[in-house]
Amino acid sequence: MHIANAQNPTRDQQFAAVTRDDGQPIYMLNLLKFRDKAVYADGRATDLTGQEAYALYGRAMTKLVAAAGGKLVFSAKVRGLLIGELDELWDSVGIMMYPSFKAMAAITSSPDYAEIHVHRDAGLAGQVLIETVMG
């Protein structure tokens, strides 16, 4: 199994997600790897770590998701690996529940999201997002 961190979905991944959307709640498993130091695309000077920059995004995103009827289900620091092998562990994991993929897409295309997204990009070295459903 090949695993690769990325910043954003590919066009094919976006299309596949829209295609499988059945209007039911989704639970997005977030596997996060932070930069040592935040790096903003606009070149702003900062003393923030990647984790601190991402936390700015995370707090604001949690509010946007809650306003749309979703919620942060779980968030924790990664401590170790019990089964399997990875070249490098993620730093943090989280599960965010969205009422539907359509609701998530509306959030991530909103002006409010565009405003906070800079902190996400500044803080993340990469991530893996796994879309899950109940049942």
In 3D space, the residue among 132, 135, 63, 56 whose CA is nearest the CA of residue 101 turns out to be 132
* Average pLDDT for 53-70: 98
2-59 pLDDT, tens digit each: 677 677 778 888 778 778 889 899 999 999 999 999 999 999 999 999 999 999 999 9
Cβ atoms of 28 and 132 within 8 Å: the answer is yes
d(CA 8, CA 17): 13
d(CA 53, CA 131): 24
Please give the pLDDT value at position 90.
Answer: 95
Share of the chain above pLDDT 90, in %: 79
Cβ atoms of 26 and 100 within 8 Å: the answer is yes
Q: How far is CA 101 from CA 20, 41, 76, 97, 122, in A?
A: 9, 28, 23, 10, 25
Residue type, 111: P
DSSP-assigned letters across all residues of 119-135: HHHHHEEEEEEEEE---
Residue type, 79: R
Is the pLDDT assigned to residue 110 strictly greater than 80?
Answer: yes
Please give the pLDDT value at position 111.
Answer: 97
Q: Which domains does the chain have, with CATH numbers?
A: 11-132 (3.30.70.100)
